[in-house]
Chains A and B, each alone.
Chain A
Amino acid sequence: MSLIHITEKNFDKEIVHSDIPVIIDFWAEWCGPCQMMGPVFEKLSKEYTGKLKFAKVDTESEPEIAMQFGIQGIPSLVVIHKGREVSRIVGFAPEAVLKQKIDSILKQI
């Protein structure tokens, strides 16, 4: 599944009413660690098709969504299931580490 870019317009449809859990990558262009997280996140989005939806929020163009989640540091990955936050990963994580974390979060859901 490809990455979904979240705006206020599609937030409810893609996040709140999603059938499967969602992981949102809060990022910004000026943030170095976010630039590194980008390709890792995109690669993983292809590996979890059907199990986990991968979404991105540009904190510069969508400050309201970032504020709603109390984001004060990026990159932050927030996992949402049935409209509720279930886990949060702050800071850059390499692919293997991120995969491990995602797998353990999915097991708990």
Chain B
Amino acid sequence: MEKYDLVIIGAGPAGLTAGIYAARYKLNVIILSKDMGGLAATAHRICNFPSYEEIGGMQLMERMTNQALKLGVKINYETVLEITKNKEFIIKTSSKEYSSKKVIFAGGTERKKLNVPGEEKLLGRGVSYCATCDAAFFKNKIVSVVGGSDAALTAALLLSEYAEKVFIIYRQKEFSKAEPAWVDLVRKEKKIKVLFEEEIKEIMGEVKVEEIKLSSGKKIKVDGVFVEIGSVPKLDLLNSLKIRTENRGYILVNENQETNVQGFYAAGDITNNELKQIVTASAGGAIAAYNSYKSIKGGD
């Protein structure tokens, strides 16, 4: 079993920032993650991260990853299956076991699915959860984006650079969750048509997406369905730790990013922070790393 001072779970903004700080505190640290860059890596354009007027999500996350690696942080891309606590924490992944004095959990959230007929069957054949990955396959096609968040609007704007027409399908009456700056751009884009108070009930097509059926009964011919309806916390692997969460399932942390389990910190989108942004996730990661360092140094 590999032994560490600190195991960080998740390689998004929170986990990578925690890694950067921990490395500079000279902790023996490793990041375990199922993916590179987390949700932020799938963002098309990021315009509110200080120091970059505009940067692609993948590009920003590559920079954060490289910074962590250069400082000597180890990053293993493995799926964590279970975390238990005896004297130390034991982290079981798909291929190994690790033990650690402290853990920072920055595993982020999981993308919500529509859960409608046709969605699973047509994944990769018109159904997509990553507009930045797949937009280029929809040149001169008709696509739909489901959702009304910043992620949905930026996906629609990106798709409008390729597709002939983009429908935004949103169940609310107006874009109340998104940044007004994105809403303005969407309104100005002639290729985008917004259908408020509608939901997708079925995705139809034999070998690829051909048509969607909406809650009003209307059917629209489309070649693609981009699902951007937000994400939910997933905490199955923490079952045995009895981590306290608030009612929507996000981990409760205090101002030191501590959870109810001693030595177990959480940061980023998985916590009960209200503003889920790259900059707030990074801040949480830094605070968690600082407090684990302080606690290790103090002999805990």
A-side residues, CB < 8 A to B, are 28, 30-36, 39-40, 59-60, 66, 70-76, 88, 90-92, 94-97
Q: How far is the CB of A94 from chain B (nearest CB, A)?
A: 5
Min CB–CB distance A101 → chain B (angstroms): 13
Beta-carbon contacts under 8 Å, B85-138 to A: 94-95, 123-128, 130, 132-134, 136-138
A87 to chain B: closest CB distance in Å?
A: 12
Task: Identify A73's interface contact among B77, B78, B79, B124, CB under 8 A.
Answer: B124
Q: List 7 A-B contacts (CB under 8 A).
A: A31-B134, A32-B133, A36-B35, A59-B137, A72-B124, A74-B134, A94-B77
Residue of A59, A72, A94 touching B94 (CB-CB under 8 A): A94
Residues in A neighbouring B79, C-beta threshold 8 A: 94, 96-97
Q: A33-B35, A88-B124 are in contact. List 13 more A-B contacts (CB 8 A).
A: A30-B58, A30-B133, A31-B58, A32-B37, A32-B41, A32-B58, A34-B133, A35-B36, A36-B35, A39-B77, A73-B134, A74-B134, A90-B124
- Among A75, A88, A91, max chain B CB count under 10 A is at A91
- Taking the closest CB of chain B, its distance from the CB of A24, in whole angstroms, is 14
What distance in Å separates the Cβ of B11 from its nearest Cβ neighbour in chain A?
Answer: 10
Q: Which of B28-59 contact A (CB under 8 A)?
A: 34-37, 41-42, 56-58
Shortest beta-carbon distance from B68 to chain A in Å: 15
Interface size class of B (residues with CB under 8 A): 20 to 34
Which residues on B sit within 8 Å (CB–CB) of A70?
Answer: 125, 207-208
B137–A66 contact, CB under 8 A?
yes
- Expressed in whole angstroms, the minimum distance between the Cβ of A17 and any Cβ of chain B is 26
B67-79: CB near A (< 8 Å → 1, else 0) gives 0000000000111
Expressed in whole angstroms, the minimum distance between the Cβ of B111 and any Cβ of chain A is 11
| Contact of A72 (CB < 8 Å), options: B42, B62, B138 | B138
Write out the residue numbers on chain A whose beta carbons fall within 8 Å of the beta carbon of B13: none
Say how far B142's CB is from chain A's closest CB, in angstroms. 13
A72 touches B126 (CB 8 A): yes
Known: A32-B57, A97-B94. A72 touches B77 (CB 8 A): no
Check if B224 is an interface residue, CB within 8 A of chain A. Answer: yes
A75 surroundings in chain B (CB, below 8 A): 133
Task: Name the distance in Å between B214's Cβ and chain A's nearest Cβ.
Answer: 21
Q: In the docked arrangement, what's the CA distance between A30 and B130, Å?
A: 11
The answer to whether A33 touches B224, judged by C-beta atoms less than 8 angstroms apart, is no
Q: What is the bound-complex CA distance between A74 and B132, given in angstroms?
A: 10
Contact call B94/A31, Cβ cutoff below 8 A: no
Contact A72 B134 (CB under 8 A): yes
A72 touching B61 by the CB < 8 A rule? no
Q: Provide the bound-state CA to CA distance between A90 and B224, in Å.
A: 15
